[in-house]
Structure 1
């Protein structure tokens, strides 16, 4: 009887641990850094991101600063967040998170926005969406 209770307690502890680690690892964060340059000061970057289910609203990011959002990718592998980026003299769109492209490469996706396009981890630069 005592060993059955002990086994049950160990089983419950393992389930709680697995649930907690699964929830912690299931979250994805996208960070957007304003890396625009200006003659006197970097321009403010206005970002508007959304998915088919969530509109994250407009956010103004001053030069060198970061705005980020977090979510849990879908079970079906089709999570997509797309954003518009606007600054004086520029307006572009980019798919900031595409689950098929990004799921394996980041749990924390950091994109540096530059005039020619966003750069993943400031090294893998992409072109703006057409």
Structure 2
């Protein structure tokens, strides 16, 4: 049913980020685009933060990036949505789990694609 809804959704793109850090750590995240600052959010283990937007045209001009921090460690950065990028933008509902080695996109219950942090 969820996959059918993803195909029928014409109301924009939805990004959902879940704190999946090992050790039940709290996660602070801050997501932005060129035009929108979504603010900083504290997520307890298992907590989530979501946002919605309408991708811009022409294709390839929408970018949302986020910083992630836990346990007072250095900030980690990741481009959570890049229009035109198959791994990060081929979804109406983009579900992400955050782990220490990097974020993972949950394509469906059986497929997770993980990425390294931005350098």
The normalised TM-score by structure 1 is 0.75
Q: In the alignment, is residue 123 of structure 1 matched against residue 106 of structure 2?
A: no
Aligned counterparts, 1:2-41, within 5 A: 25-38=10-23
Structure 1 segment 1-130 matched on structure 2, within 5 A:
25-38=10-23, 42-77=24-59, 78-88=61-71, 89-101=73-85, 102-103=88-89, 105-121=90-106, 123-130=112-119
Task: Give the RMSD, CA atoms, in angstroms.
Answer: 1.3
Partner deviation per Cα, 1:36-60 (whole Å, 9 max, x = no partner): 011xxx1111000000000000011
- Higher helix residue share: 1
8 Å Cα contact 1:26-1:73 kept in structure 2: no
C-alpha deviation, 1:91, in angstroms: 2.2
| Residue correspondences, number | 103
Inter-partner Cα distance in structure 2 for 1:111 and 1:94? 11
